[in-house]
Amino acid sequence: MNAQEPIYLDYAATSPADPRVAAAMGECLTREGVFGNPSSMHQHGRLARARVEHARAQAAALINAPPQQLVWTSGATESNNLAILGSARAAAKRGRHPGRHLVTARTEHKSVLDPCRRLEHEGFQVSYLDTDHQGLIAPQLVREALRDDTVLVSIMHANNEIGVLQDIEAIAAICHERAVPLHVDAAQSAGKVALDVERLQCDLLSFTAHKLYGPKGIGALYFAPARRASLQPLVFGGGHERGLRSGTLAVHQIVGFGLACELAAAAWRADAEHCERLRARLWQGLNAIGGVLLNGHPTQRVPGILNVSFTGIEGESLLMGLTELSLSTGSACSSDSDEPSYVLRALGRDTELAQSALRFSLGRYSSEQDIDLAIAAVTREVRRLRAAAP
């Protein structure tokens, strides 16, 4: 990497693809390679179909699911939309007493919250659960929110801004007592921590390639066998993917995703140790500045994300002084607005502290040197801004 290029500390927004992934994708585009349409019955089509099904097995293995229980999507945004809109709309058509209620949390990703808002416009009711000051949802709150007409609970595994991991097993147990399906947005945990749909006992699970060293624009939704009948598609057409998601399969994307999952299954433990070590070093260095607060639970979290607030500092000014670092104030999606992070507000941080937050996210290619340079840069800017403050 050349010297002027900023240090990349934004792995939670996206990661570069593994070079092996990029190479495998290229082979599925050209005339010499496997460019066929997997829906075609001729030899070119069959070869492409074989690649797609191999990738499905690779992606399913990462979450310990049977391959036929995965549907390809364009990413976790679409997977979340399909899980939430698809479950709710299918349930609303059922019987004389259709389900009209969903449960989610205030700290969910926008790709969960926005479909829920959409459903409110369609006449559904949604309960938005609060978290504690460390970003965790007490499973008891889920129990209290469930109603006889609840059609879905959607709770994320790892939070994209603060990295905390929710207790999905406990939440799933509560949902199952009441026979309510549970959807889990695992975009930030897939390939980062152990992820097993059998153990979690979730009914629907979203994940995406570009957060785990695969390409952008491809993801998957896992659905438990009993869920197929209770999912309404968002996209209609040729009936691909068992009718759940029509459209010609993006073979190169799928092959890249599959390989990225296989590589992640082999690498996540080492990656996690690496990120854990670097995050500890980063936190130690930043904490030494003084007036630094950790956002989110200190230990129940994914290894790669560190979110901190600085007292007496305005976040935008801080970020502006840190052009040598590629990092976010909060989630990548809301960074273009001046609104303080709704996730940090939900934790009870005041506007000023929410606005002074920085999210550092580390990955496989992060180095000790990156961390030390980041600490030096942030220390310099925080001191400068505090000295200039009235």
Ligand X SMILES: *Cc1c(COP(=O)(O)O)cnc(C)c1O
Q: Which residues are catalytic?
A: 333
185 lies in the site for ligand X, by CB under 6 A: yes
By Cβ distance, which residue is nearest to ligand X?
A: 75
How far apart are alpha carbons 157 and 138 in whole angstroms? 14
Q: In terms of CB distance, is 34 or 200 closer to ligand X?
A: 200
Interacting span for ligand X (CB under 6 A) from 33-41, 135-143, 206-214, 307-315: 206-214
Of the candidates 121, 192, 126, 133, the residue with the CA atom closest to the CA atom of residue 155 = 126
Sign of the C-alpha dihedral, residues 60, 277, 375, 165?
positive
* Residue choice 116, 126, 187, 212 for contact with ligand X (CB under 6 A): 187
Tell me which residue of 292, 359, 303 sits closest to 331, measured CA to CA.
Answer: 359
Q: Which of residues 153-182 bind ligand X (CB under 6 A)?
A: 156, 160
Instruction: Choose the stretch contacting ligand X; rule: CB under 6 A; options: 50-58, 71-79, 83-91, 281-289.
Output: 71-79
Q: How far is the CB of 369 from ligand X (least distance, A)?
A: 27
What is the smallest separation between the CB atom of 114 and ligand X, expressed in angstroms?
Answer: 11
User: Can you list the positions of beta strands (E) in 62-202?
Assistant: 70-73, 101-105, 125-129, 150-154, 182-185
Only one of the segments 58-66, 73-81, 168-176, 269-277 lies at the binding site for ligand X (rule: CB under 6 A); that segment is 73-81
Contact region with ligand X (CB under 6 A), list: 207-215, 290-298, 346-354, 367-375: 207-215
- Integer Cα distance of 298 and 358 in angstroms: 16
Min CB(112)–ligand X separation in Å: 7
Q: Is the dihedral of CA 27, 249, 58, 333 positive or negative?
A: positive
The nearer residue to ligand X, 127 or 208, going by C-beta atoms, is: 208
Quick check: 219 binds ligand X (CB under 6 A)?
A: yes
Q: Which helix (H) or strand (E) holds 242?
A: none
If binding is defined by CB under 6 A, does position 253 make contact with ligand X?
no
Angle (CA) 306-307-312 rounded to 5° is: 135
Taking CB under 6 A as the criterion, the residue among 208, 230, 355, 366 binding ligand X is 208
**Shortest Cβ distance from residue 146 to ligand X (Å)?**
23
By C-alpha distance, which of 58, 386, 52 is closest to 251?
52
State the Cα–Cα distance between residues 58 and 61, nearest whole angstrom. 5
The closest alpha carbon to 327, from 288, 364, 285, 370, belongs to: 370
Task: By CB under 6 A, tell whether 10 contacts ligand X.
Answer: no
* Residue 188 binding ligand X, by CB under 6 A: yes
Residue from 7, 9, 48, 76 touching ligand X (CB under 6 A): that is 76
What is the distance between the alpha carbons of residues 76 and 84, in angstroms, rounded to a whole number?
12
Closest distance to ligand X from the beta carbon of 77 (Å): 3
- For ligand X, the closer CB: 154 or 355: 154
Burial (0-12, 13-18, 19+ Cβ within 10 Å), 389: exposed
CB of 229 to ligand X, least distance (A): 26
Element of type H or E holding 362: none
- In the complex, the smallest distance separating the C-beta of residue 171 from ligand X, rounded to whole angstroms, is 16
> Which region holds residue 246: left if phi is over 0, alpha if psi is between -120 and 50, else beta?
beta
Number of residues interacting with ligand X: please give it, by CB under 6 A. Answer: 14
Whether 206 contacts 168, CB under 8 Å? no
Question: In the set 33, 36, 38, 75, which binds ligand X (CB under 6 A)?
Answer: 75
Contacting ligand X within 95-114 (CB under 6 A): 109, 111
Choose between 34 and 250: whose C-beta lies nearer to ligand X. Answer: 250
Between residues 10 and 185, which has the closer beta carbon with respect to ligand X? Answer: 185
The residues that touch ligand X, with contacts defined as CB under 6 A, are 75-77, 109, 111, 156, 160, 185, 187-188, 208, 210-211, 219
